[in-house]
Chain A
């Protein structure tokens, strides 16, 4: 985990330690894990993104290049976090990728309605999972040119 306050490439909001470990394992393989911040629930995610509470000392201008967001989270769910990010002028340009177990169409539709940048269903098949993690990292960190944060 990166130090508080320092710039990170990826913010990963994931309450499942297994999924976290698997994702990190794959990202690590492609040397993408050096600047990754993991938070375990919705509330912490909001505090991190909006620099409040535990992360009050963080600079809001220093935002990750991409946020990986699970939908089912303790305290505040992923869709709510997405809504807050996309409503706020300071954070709306951060690319958000839903990385979730949910295959429900309504979650997918709601996510896109709220302005998600990508929606990826976590596959059970590990080979597929690896592929997802790899392309995800490559695309959002290496290929995608984010707009300058406001």
Chain B
């Protein structure tokens, strides 16, 4: 009869499905070696065993069925107890409650076996009823309580954890439904319609058990996907707009926890620095840090304990940072799917962290730069003030110092010119000295002012012909040579970027020195020329004479103000000319040096750019 065949097939199918789930849970337990999974494996395995025993009993006839009844009762109760212990592992019971419950379960088991042993299958109806009621109540209590409890507790959890808890709850409820169905069907077992319905219901329950206790990766992904829309927006915000490392760490950790269903977590930067934590008890932070430090290449580390916990680590490729998550009892599972998701997530967060670090570095640099700018501005203001003072000072000198000098040389001149006859020759000599000294001091003041003005004037650089400048300088000095015979040789002179007026001053000073110090030569020779220079320094210009020269030992003093290399009775001068030349060359960014020998002439070389020393001294 087709109905009988159908029932038989569906019963076999149910048994096979139970066995398959049992295998899955056992495998899961063996893989994790986790206590709670062992209880679960035991519970589902027991149910599968009951189902198999039923089928075997049917096949072997009533004698086996009565013998296996003891085993069936025991195993069934074991399944209830195992589920309760699983619940204890997930949501711990108070020890006393646990003891009472275990006691009740054992007592019920003994009662059932006792009744069966004493009366066999012919117990009085009232006793059968009591035994059956006790059995159903105890078992339903063991299994039903966690389902209600999980369902209620799920309300305040994140989406993924809530889905996981509701699935567990549904798994428990399914087992209760299974039991109740079997109880009611046992009294109505004779009717095939009920048998078929029962078989179908049982088969329908199997997927619920599967999803509830061993949620597969696709289901866990579905749970995550319910958050995906919000998450996409959030991750964009985190990666692109987080203002600092702490904000980024806090928000990305929040989302990692939310989407993996973890209980808590922390965001590490390097081995020591914790950028953010969420939901951690005080000593958990240290535990997680230690786990992360000792993880090596592993990404998931079981911690054990009741309830059992595990750690999942995702390393960021920036700064040795890591997201470390703590999985609790309601964390679905840290499977390969979660690992892959978290690694991908970590890569995105890395990008954000890199960006934030750059932004922070930039802000810091900007801060330093602003400080420097303030400093420089302040110093510039101080310099400007000092410069103004200096200007006022030199203005006063220019005006006030020259007036008495004019009187000194002026009145002595009048005495010498208009009253010469009445003054003895010796006195006239002294008056001459007074007049000369006054005039010398006048030159000193003038030179000094010219020198100090040099530092303050702005350079007006343009491309100019050095040859033209030298020609003008030579012409300007022509009157000073007077009757002397001087060979002036002017060589090839490349053009240069410079301030023409100042450079003319350079050549006037160098040439007048050359004329002055070579005046004792019968055949004075002054040479102006240029040496081919480097790309950075440009050509080296030089002015050479065959005059008195100087001792190179004192070359260091050559360009100092008021430094003289000759006695004033030998060669007159103020000692400012070379200082002026030096300053002009410096202001152009060039350098100047000299080669000389006592009585062997002197050569002054200078460049107009590329003097590194000068540049750095300006920057400092």
Q: Which of A71, A72, A126 meets B410, CB within 8 Å?
A: A126
Contact A124–B405 (Cβ < 8 Å): yes
Whole-angstrom distance between the alpha carbons of A32 and B412 in the complex? 22
Whole-angstrom distance between the alpha carbons of A22 and B409 in the complex? 10
Decide yes or no whether B442 CB sits under 8 A from chain A: yes
Residues in A neighbouring B410, C-beta threshold 8 A: 18, 22, 126, 129
Q: Which of B395, B403, B441 meets A19, CB within 8 Å?
A: B403
Whole-angstrom distance between the alpha carbons of A123 and B449 in the complex? 14
Decide yes or no whether A61 CB sits under 8 A from chain B: no
Residues A48-85 near B (CB distance < 8 A): 71-72
Q: A2-34, CB under 8 A of B: which get 1 and which 0?
A: 000000000000001011011001000000000
Whole-angstrom distance between the alpha carbons of A111 and B363 in the complex? 52
B145 to chain A, nearest CB (A): 101
Name the residue among A18, A71, A130 with the largest chain B CB count within 10 angstroms. A18
Q: B389-420, CB under 8 A of A: which get 1 and which 0?
A: 00000010011101111110111111000000
Residues in A neighbouring B443, C-beta threshold 8 A: 124
Residues in B neighbouring A130, C-beta threshold 8 A: 413
A54 to chain B, nearest CB (A): 26
Contact B406–A122 (Cβ < 8 Å): yes
Decide yes or no whether B265 CB sits under 8 A from chain A: no
Contact B409–A126 (Cβ < 8 Å): yes
Decide yes or no whether A118 CB sits under 8 A from chain B: no
Stretch at the interface among A35-43, A88-96, A100-108, A140-148: A100-108
Contact A124–B409 (Cβ < 8 Å): yes
* B residues contacting the other copy or chain, number (CB 8 A): 25
Whole-angstrom distance between the alpha carbons of A21 and B442 in the complex? 19
Whole-angstrom distance between the alpha carbons of A124 and B400 in the complex? 12
Residue of A nearest to B399 (CB): A101
Residue of B nearest to A124 (CB): B442
Decide yes or no whether B261 CB sits under 8 A from chain A: no
Q: Which of A22, A25, A125 meets B442, CB within 8 Å?
A: A125
Contact B403–A103 (Cβ < 8 Å): no
Q: Knowing A22-B410, A22-B411, A126-B410 touch, does A102 contact B399 (C-beta < 8 A)?
A: yes
Residues in A neighbouring B435, C-beta threshold 8 A: 126
Q: Which of B399, B438, B441, B445 meets A72, CB within 8 Å?
A: B399
Contact B405–A103 (Cβ < 8 Å): no
Contact A19–B398 (Cβ < 8 Å): no
Q: Knowing A18-B403, A124-B438, A125-B442 touch, does A102 contact B409 (C-beta < 8 A)?
A: no
A70 to chain B, nearest CB (A): 9
Name the residue among B395, B403, B439, B442 with the largest chain A CB count within 10 angstroms. B403
Whole-angstrom distance between the alpha carbons of A100 and B398 in the complex? 10
Name the residue among B399, B405, B435 with the largest chain A CB count within 10 angstroms. B399
Q: Knowing A125-B442, A127-B413 touch, does A19 contact B399 (C-beta < 8 A)?
A: no
Contact B398–A25 (Cβ < 8 Å): no
Q: Which of B398, B411, B438, B441 meets A101, CB within 8 Å?
A: B398
Decide yes or no whether B446 CB sits under 8 A from chain A: yes
Residues in A neighbouring B405, C-beta threshold 8 A: 124
A: residues with CB less than 8 A from B are 16, 18-19, 21-22, 25, 71-72, 100-104, 122-127, 129-130
Q: Which 9 A-B pairs have the closest CB atoms?
A: A124-B442, A18-B407, A126-B413, A22-B410, A101-B399, A126-B410, A101-B402, A124-B405, A126-B409
Q: List 18 A-B residue pairs with CB atoms under 8 Å apart, sorted by A's residue number.
A: A18-B411, A19-B403, A21-B411, A22-B407, A72-B400, A101-B398, A101-B403, A102-B398, A122-B406, A124-B402, A124-B439, A124-B443, A125-B442, A126-B410, A126-B414, A127-B413, A129-B410, A130-B413
